[in-house]
Amino acid sequence: MTASTRARALRPAHRLTLLKGGGALFPAMCEAIAAARAEVLLETYMFEFAYGVVPIAEALEAAALRGVRVHVVADGVGTGDIPPEWQQRWKAARVHWRIFNPARGWRLLLPKRWRRLHRKLCVVDGRVGFCGGINLLDDFHDPNHGALDQPRFDFSVRVEGPLVEDMHETMKRLWARLQVAREAEQQDFAAAFQAVIAAADAGTDLADEHLNSDVDDENALPQPPGEGALAALVLRDNVRFRRSIEGNYRLAIGLAQTEILIANAYFIPGVQLQRALLRAARRGVRITLLLQGRYEYFMQYHASRAVYAMMLDAGIEIIEYEASFLHAKVAVMDAAGGALATVGSSNLDPLSLLLAREANVFVRDDAFAAELRGHLMDAIAQGRRVAPDAITRWSVVSRGLTWLAYAAMRVVLFVSGKRY
Burial class (CB in 10 A: 0-12, 13-18, 19+), 315: middle
Short-list 109, 129, 103, 115, CA closest to 39? 129
Pick the more confident residue, 195 or 119: 119
Span 234-416: which CATH code?
3.30.870.10
Three-class SS state of 7: coil
Q: Give the CATH class of 11-202.
A: alpha beta
Strands (E), 52-200: 69-75, 96-100, 120-124, 128-132, 141-142, 146-147, 155-160
Q: Using CA atoms, how far apart are residues 362 and 261, in angstroms rounded to an integer? A: 14
The count of C-alpha atoms lying within 13 angstroms of the C-alpha of 14, restricted to the half-sphere facing its C-beta, is: 29
Q: Are 342 and 130 in contact (CB under 8 A)?
A: no
Task: Tell me the pTM.
Answer: 0.88
Query: What secondary structure letter does DSSP report for 363?
Result: E
pLDDT surpassing 90 at residue 215: no
Short-list 326, 355, 352, CA closest to 262? 326
Residue 386, pLDDT score: 96
Residues of the chain with CATH 3.30.870.10: 11-202, 234-416
**Tens digits of residue pLDDT in 283-329:** 999 999 999 999 888 888 999 999 999 999 999 999 999 999 999 99
Q: Are 284 and 249 in contact (CB under 8 A)?
A: no
Active-site amino acid positions: 118, 120, 125, 327, 329, 334
Three-class SS state of 141: strand
Residue 185, pLDDT score: 52
**Tens digits of residue pLDDT in 218-239:** 444 444 445 789 999 999 987 7
Short-list 184, 202, 201, 205, CA closest to 193? 184
**Tens digits of residue pLDDT in 77-116:** 999 889 999 999 999 999 999 999 988 776 666 666 778 9
